[in-house]
Structure 1
Amino acid sequence: MRAVVINCTLKRSPEQSNTEALAAVVIEELRERKVEVETIRAVDLDIPPGVQTDLGPGDPWPEVHRKILDAEIFVMASPTWAGQPSSIAQRVIERMDAMLSETDDDGRPVLYNRVAGVVVTGNEDGAHHVINNLSGALNEFGYTIPGQAWTYWNRGPGPGPSFLESDEGRDWSITTGRAMASNLVAVATALAERPVPAPPS
């Protein structure tokens, strides 16, 4: 089984990313469950805006698209800014929109029988909004979203330290991230055994 994790931090490599640190909890648990995991830091790719799979020469998205289709599990990780997903997360969602019109050999939407989850960090409120926003989009594209397929960390109202700078609430976020990984693998396994059929025409 394969998973791809797209980190939608605004920080370019090799800058330290709080979102990457929490996503690493999920990644570790996935690997414990024999899942092959690939990570992508989307901001490093300079993905251009658009709603097509391939925008021509220099567009890095077709390779990301291929990696998404190679994986049974998809995890989107985003920081919270002004209570919203990062602009990079929105860019990824916009590029994935093209997959709505893609089908597999059996006529199913191409992202059917795959699962997705969300990781969110931020030193401000808004995590549940971001989780709902991203989960809703991924479900629209065809992903199955298992129960409790998310984890988050935030400090609460007002400015303050970030995930890597505070111990506040981290144990809960880590435990929830491990549960998220377990649920993703369980549902992906079930879908592999009993796939969702193509929708009625």
Structure 2
Amino acid sequence: MRAVVLNCTLKKSPEESNTDLLAQVVIDELTKKDVEVTSFRLADHEIPPGVATDLGGGDEWPNIHTLLLRSEILVFATPTWVGRPSSFAQRALERMDAMISETDDQERPVAYNRVAGVVVTGNEDGAHHVISEICGGLVDIGYTIPGQAWTYWNRGPGPGPSYSETDEGHEWSEKTGRTMAANLHAVALALAERPIPA
């Protein structure tokens, strides 16, 4: 089984990403279940805006798209900025819009029988809103969202330290991240055995 992680931090490598740190909890748990995980930090790639799979001219999204189609699990990881998903998260959803009209050999949308979940970090509140926005978009595209297929960390209302600057709330976020990974894996296995029909 394979998984793709789309890290939508605004920070380019090798700058430390709080979103990457929490997503790693989910990655580690999936790896324990023999899932092969590939992670992309979108800020490191040339991904122009648009709603097509391939925009040509150095567009790196087609490579990511190919791996999405080879994977049963998608983990969407994003920071919260002004209470919303990052601009890279929005751009990824816009590029994935093309998948709605792409079909498999049984004429189903290509995202059918794939599962997805969300990781959110931010030192202010808004995580539930971000999770809802991303899950809503992924369901439109055709992904299945298992119960409790998310984890988040935020400090609460108002500014404050980031995930990497405090231990506050880590135990809950990491436990929830491990549960997220287990639920994604379980539902991906179930769909592999009993796929959604055409």
User: TM bucket by the smaller chain?
Assistant: over 0.9
Other-structure match for 1:35: 35
1:60 alignment counterpart:
60
Are positions 1:180 and 2:170 aligned together?
A: no
Once residues 88 and 114 of structure 2 are traced to their aligned partners in structure 1, the CA distance between those partners, rounded to angstroms, is: 22
Q: Is 1:6 aligned to 2:6, yes or no? A: yes
The answer on whether the counterparts of 2:46 and 2:58 sit within 8 Å (CA) in structure 1 is no
Q: Which residue of 1 aligns with 2:148?
A: 148
Equivalent position SS for 2:168: coil
CA contact (8 A) 2:46 2:61 kept: no
Cα deviation for residue 46 of structure 1 reads 2.5
Cα drift, residue 57 of structure 1 = 2.3
Residue correspondence of structure 1 range 16-95 to structure 2 within 5 A: 16-95=16-95
Instruction: Give the distance between the partners of 2:46 and 2:12, measured in 1 at CA.
Output: 10
Matched letter for residue 88 of structure 1: F
If the length of structure 2 is used for normalisation, what is the TM-score?
Answer: 0.99
What amino acid is aligned across from residue 165 of structure 1 in structure 2? E
Give 1:12's aligned amino acid: K
What code does the residue aligned with 2:5 have?
V
CA distance in 2, matches of 1:98, 1:134: 16
Output one character per residue of 1:60-113: Cα deviation in whole Å (capped at 9) or x when no partner. 011010011110000000000000000010010000000000000011110000
User: How far apart are 1:167 and its partner, in Å?
Assistant: 1.0
**Structure 2 residues without counterparts, runs of 5 or longer:** none
Letter in 2 for 1:65: H
Q: 2:63, 2:108 → 1: CA distance?
A: 22
In the alignment, the residues of structure 1 paired with residue 51 and residue 165 of structure 2 have an alpha-carbon distance, to the nearest angstrom, of: 37
Aligned to 1:117: 117
Q: Deviations along 1:31-58, whole A, 9 cap, x unmatched?
A: 0001000000001103100000010121
CA-based RMSD: 0.5
Following TM superposition, the consecutive aligned residue runs of length 4 or more in structure 1 with deviations greater than 6 angstroms are none
1:162-173 matched pairs, under 5 angstroms = 162-173=162-173
Instruction: Please tell me the residue identity of whatever aligns with 1:10.
Output: L
Provide the rounded CA distance (Å) in 2 between the counterparts of 1:59 and 1:112: 25
Q: Secondary structure at the match of 2:113?
A: coil
Determine helix, strand or coil for the equivalent of 2:100: helix
Taking the aligned partners of 1:31 and 1:59, their CA distance within structure 2 comes to 29
Q: Which residue of 2 aligns with 1:107?
A: 107
2:112 and 2:196 in contact (8 A); partners too? yes
Stretch of structure 1 that moved more, 73-82 or 56-65: 56-65
Distance in 2 separating the partners of 1:186 and 1:56: 37
